[in-house]
Amino acid sequence: MSKNKVKQSGTGTSSQMESKHTKQDLDGIALNMAGYMNSNYFHVHRGASQLSQQLCVVFGNDGYSTDERAKLEAQAVKDWAEGADCLCSDIQIEPNGITWAVAVVGDHDIAEALKAITWDVWLEQSQKRVSGRQS
């Protein structure tokens, strides 16, 4: 094999090189998952699900339309994903305005990192609320 035909590894992220998803696909996945998590897993306050090796959906069942903490955690997930050069959906909210979701294509096993972000932001904002400070 000639030198020019060898695939370079380590250039760009796997999400850039291998993703077959479009942003529109990811928006649809996130919206569907927001509805699914609201209907079937409302007792789970927030989390992330690794749907495939590179596709993860992060969600919160925490009153997106009425609670600033939920908006901040969802935005933190989106900001992290974009900062890590991952392809991601917009924040999608199910019709009741309670559950949000963001679909992210990135390197494998990003679910735990994204789940940690949701909890960190939520707990930080909750502590500020308790101590009388707003974000």
Range of the domain at 90: 14-130
* Residues 63-101 pLDDT 10s: 999 999 999 999 999 998 998 889 999 999 999 999 999
Residue 135 in domain: no
Residue 60 in domain: yes
Task: Count CB atoms within 10 A of the CB of residue 13.
Answer: 16
Give the closest residue to 60 by CA, choosing from 86, 81, 37, 80. Answer: 37
> Is the whole model's pTM more than 0.85, yes or no?
no
What is the rounded CA–CA span in Å between residue 91 and residue 73?
A: 11
Q: Helix or strand or coil: residue 75? A: helix
Say which CATH number the domain at 84 has. Answer: 3.30.1360
Residue 81 in domain: yes
Residue 109 has φ and ψ, to the nearest 5°, of: 60, 40
Task: Count CB atoms within 10 A of the CB of residue 68.
Answer: 13
Residue 5 in domain: no
Per-residue confidence (pLDDT) for residue 19, from 0 to 100:
65
Residue 2 in domain: no
> Is pLDDT of 17 > 70?
no
Mean per-residue pLDDT over the chain, rounded: 83
Per-residue confidence (pLDDT) for residue 14, from 0 to 100:
43
Total domains present in the chain: 1
